[in-house]
């Protein structure tokens, strides 16, 4: 009886715990590779993939769980990177302060954009973030005296060895996914998903939709800035190319390929897209042709993405057992 | 000084309006934003330049061919990619928005990358429509080419607005924009109207690209800023309002040209964002937007 009451209060965990465990298993499998002799070059590829996984999971929090479409994940990463770079260059602020400062600035910009656009229903967020991303890039390119334009600003490295970055990004992605899993189980995670499924319905049920949309956008912007600032201290040179729209396109293809609204999807998508980009780039820069086509095909014919499709197959297979188990508890719980 | 700035702003604004008009028509009929709009502009510019330079096609043929190229692309895109929106999602706005943003944004990147593969990342300057010594127009030195380009742009702009208001074709478009299902019940072929609107928008954007190819040489990513400006304009004018697109385009042109003089020239592309923020703060529905009620 008690279990029935609690299951009414707290609906079943919204993201399957299995997905989190698979994600952590993938990260754990990646962890020993540097000590097993993974080449420096491929370590770099994995680090970049993990950076993309952070941006993609972040974009998934917006697009996949809340139904908000930002076209500035790369733009916010660039902003975060430039905050720490400018603070270091002009005020000598150390990275351990500059990186959180980058995240905070992005969260504040996200808050302002969110308050402006999310009160309105319509495509205002996508339009404004696209304009913001491109215009930030123009400002950086044109303010040559301050930002040194396309040449970029040099920032100090955090670690002496590349493998240290490797572990840092592994921990960052793992921490983010655990945090996201926890968040989605909280009431606020349910509000976000309710907004995506039916915003009017959610408002009618008393969810403060505007508040939670602004909250999600601001948090996600801040975390994109954090990822960008961390990445800045890995690549050491901060240039406007971090914020290019092509990067946003890659992030979007990772999420759509892996599965929107799945916990595991963005990580799988980031690894698949970024590692295969290496080969496509070697074959003659085909990655920006291949992935948009993949995105269009997935949006058209496989909207749940690879992980979503795999989960459907998995659930169909174990479903029969689970259903008989559920029936048993129902019988027990019913008066 | 002021009047010459106004004139040059109005000239730029006319081309902005040409792009924004198509975008706002698409929004009016389909309730989606076409994030590949800048690439229609780019395709038009390249079609014009490549036909002229590589194939030696005369300007009088290359210009209509560029419009046709943009229109054909719009037609194909609507048939292949946009059609599922109203076939599958029906009234579910959330699913439609998701699909439309993802597909048009991916299309935009695909077209840029494909064009980079085909013609290379360089920019190619387009030929002038007419050669001749510059004239003085309200204190601004304008070349005959600019006057010819402006004339063609104005003709297409007002031609489209006239047809929208007074032809059967335009009445059908406005009917679908007002109420899709009611228009369908009244016998309007909504699918055909949507295709026509997309093709028209593609053609208008391509025309802008071709007319400006002498001043702004087309490169694969040339469409980004014209597109962003037309996004600002349609929000400023009110989403879905053709008149708003016209007035908004002229207004943005004037504001940029005044800002270039009084604030800073190299940041002129950023004034649009400031304007966008102001509009969202003060008048979110835009100058000519309707306040719609939600059901």
Is B94 close to A199, i.e. CB distance below 8 A? Answer: yes
CA proximity to B12, closest of B293, B255, B237, B235: B255
Write out the two tokens for B139: 């204190």
pLDDT above 50 (res A125): yes
Q: Which residue of A has its CA nearest to B223?
A: A134
CA proximity to B78, closest of B37, B115, B17: B37
CA proximity to B223, closest of B71, B75, B37: B37
Least confident of A70-74, A142-146, A225-229, A251-255: A142-146
CA proximity to A242, closest of A113, A76, A107, A50: A76
A295 touches chain B (CB under 8 A): yes
Angle formed by the axes of helices B144-166 and B2-30, nearest 10°: 40
Asked whether residue B213 is assigned to any structural domain, the reply reads yes
d(CA B127, CA B218): 12
Asked whether residue B198 is assigned to any structural domain, the reply reads yes
d(CA A70, CA B283): 22
Q: Are A265 and A308 in contact (CB under 8 A)?
A: yes
Asked whether residue B135 is assigned to any structural domain, the reply reads yes
Q: What is the pLDDT of residues A174-198, one digit of tens each?
A: 999 999 999 988 888 888 888 888 8
DSSP character at residue B127: P
Q: Which residue of A has its CA nearest to B100?
A: A299
Q: What is Dmax (Cα atoms) for chain B?
A: 59
Asked whether residue B208 is assigned to any structural domain, the reply reads yes
Q: Which residue of A has its CA nearest to B88?
A: A300
Q: Per-domain residue ranges for chain A?
A: 15-242
d(CA A122, CA A102): 29
Is A139 close to B270, i.e. CB distance below 8 A? Answer: yes
Q: How many domains does chain B have?
A: 1
Asked whether residue B267 is assigned to any structural domain, the reply reads no
Q: What is the pLDDT of residues A107-122, one digit of tens each?
A: 999 999 999 889 887 7
Under 8 Å CB pairs connecting chains A and B tally to 119
φ and ψ at A235, to 5 degrees?
-80, -15
**Structural domain range at position B138:** 25-223
**pLDDT of chain B, 295 residues: tens digit per residue:** 677 788 888 888 999 999 999 999 999 888 889 999 999 999 999 999 999 988 888 888 999 999 999 999 999 999 999 888 777 776 667 778 888 999 999 999 999 999 999 888 888 888 888 888 888 776 777 888 888 999 999 999 999 999 999 999 899 999 988 888 888 888 888 889 999 999 999 999 999 999 998 888 888 888 888 899 999 999 988 888 889 899 999 999 999 888 888 887 777 778 888 888 888 888 878 887 765 544 4
Q: What is the pLDDT of residue A322?
A: 52
Cβ under 8 Å to B: A residues 70-129: 71, 116-117, 119-124, 126-128
Is B270 close to A135, i.e. CB distance below 8 A? Answer: yes
Q: Are B7 and B139 in contact (CB under 8 A)?
A: yes
Give the DSSP H/E element, type plus range, for residue B140: strand B140-142
Is A299 close to B272, i.e. CB distance below 8 A? Answer: no
Contacts of B97 in chain A (CB under 8 A): 67, 69, 123
Q: Are B122 and B234 in contact (CB under 8 A)?
A: no
CA proximity to B145, closest of B125, B126, B127, B130: B130
Q: What is Dmax (Cα atoms) for chain A?
A: 76
| H helix intervals, A92-123 | 95-117
Give the DSSP H/E element, type plus range, for residue A267: helix A265-282
Q: Are B257 and B8 in contact (CB under 8 A)?
A: yes
Asked whether residue B128 is assigned to any structural domain, the reply reads yes
| Percentage helix, strand, coil for chain B under 3-state DSSP, each rounded to 5 | 75, 0, 25
Write out the two tokens for A271: 């690894």
Task: Give the Cα-Cα-Cα angle A220, A8, A217 (nearest 5 degrees).
Answer: 10
């Amino acid at each position: 009886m008690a279990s029935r009451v609690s299951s009414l209060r707290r609906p079943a965990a919204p993201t399957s715990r299995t997905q989190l465990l698979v994600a952590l298993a993938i990260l754990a499998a990646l962890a020993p590779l540097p000590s097993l002799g993974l080449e420096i070059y491929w370590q770099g590829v994995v680090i970049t993939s993990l950076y993309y996984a952070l941006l993609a999971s972040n974009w998934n929090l917006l697009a996949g769980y809340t139904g908000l479409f930002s076209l500035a994940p790369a733009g916010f990463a660039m902003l975060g990177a430039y905050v720490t770079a400018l603070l270091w260059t002009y005020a000598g602020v150390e990275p351990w302060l500059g990186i959180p400062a980058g995240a905070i600035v992005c969260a504040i910009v996200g808050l302002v954009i969110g308050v402006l656009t999310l009160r309105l229903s319509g495509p205002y967020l996508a339009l404004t973030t696209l304009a913001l991303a491109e215009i930030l890039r123009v400002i950086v390119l044109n303010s040559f005296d301050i930002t040194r334009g396309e040449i970029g600003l040099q920032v100090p490295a955090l670690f002496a060895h590349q493998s240290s970055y490797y572990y840092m990004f592994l921990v960052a992605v793992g921490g983010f996914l655990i945090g996201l899993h926890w968040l989605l189980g909280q009431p606020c995670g349910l509000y976000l998903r309710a907004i995506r499924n039916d915003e009017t319905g959610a408002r009618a049920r008393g969810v403060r939709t505007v508040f939670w949309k602004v909250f999600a956008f601001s948090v996600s912007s801040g975390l994109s800035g954090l990822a960008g600032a961390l990445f800045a201290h890995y690549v050491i040179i901060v240039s406007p190319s971090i914020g290019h729209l092509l990067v946003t396109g890659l992030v979007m293809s990772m999420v759509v390929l892996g599965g929107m609204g799945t916990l595991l999807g963005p990580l799988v998508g980031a690894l698949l897209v970024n590692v295969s980009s290496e080969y496509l780039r070697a074959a003659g820069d085909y990655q920006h042709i291949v992935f948009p086509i993949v995105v269009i095909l997935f949006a058209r014919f496989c909207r749940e993405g690879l992980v979503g499709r795999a989960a459907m197959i998995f659930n169909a297979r174990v479903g029969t057992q689970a259903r008989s188990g559920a029936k048993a508890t129902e019988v027990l719980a019913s008066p | 000084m002021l009047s010459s700035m106004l004139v040059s702003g109005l000239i730029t604004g006319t081309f902005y309006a040409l792009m924004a008009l198509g975008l706002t028509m698409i929004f009016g009929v389909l309730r989606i934003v076409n994030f590949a709009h800048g690439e229609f502009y780019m395709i038009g510019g390249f079609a014009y330049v490549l036909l002229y330079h590589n194939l030696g096609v005369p300007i009088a043929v290359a210009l209509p061919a560029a419009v046709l190229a943009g229109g054909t692309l719009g037609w194909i895109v609507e048939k292949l990619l946009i059609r599922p929106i109203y076939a599958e999602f029906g009234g579910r706005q959330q699913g439609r928005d998701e699909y439309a943003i993802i597909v048009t944004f991916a299309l935009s990147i695909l077209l840029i990358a494909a064009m980079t593969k085909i013609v290379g990342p360089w920019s190619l300057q387009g030929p002038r429509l007419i050669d001749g010594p510059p004239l003085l127009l309200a204190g601004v030195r304008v070349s005959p080419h600019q006057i010819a380009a402006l004339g063609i742009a104005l003709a297409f702009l007002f031609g489209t607005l006239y047809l929208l208001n007074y032809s059967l074709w335009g009445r059908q478009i406005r009917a679908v924009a007002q109420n899709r299902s009611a228009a369908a019940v009244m016998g309007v072929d909504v699918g055909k109207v949507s295709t026509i609107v997309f093709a028209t928008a593609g053609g208008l954007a391509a025309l802008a690209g071709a007319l400006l190819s002498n001043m702004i040489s087309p490169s694969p990513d040339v469409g980004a800023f014209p597109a962003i400006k037309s996004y600002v304009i349609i929000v400023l004018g009110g989403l879905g309002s053709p008149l708003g697109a016209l007035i908004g385009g002229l207004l943005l042109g004037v504001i940029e040209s005044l800002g270039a003089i009084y604030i800073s020239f190299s940041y002129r592309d950023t004034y649009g964002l400031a304007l966008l923020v102001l509009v969202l703060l003060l008048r979110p529905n835009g100058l000519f937007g309707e306040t719609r009620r939600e059901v």
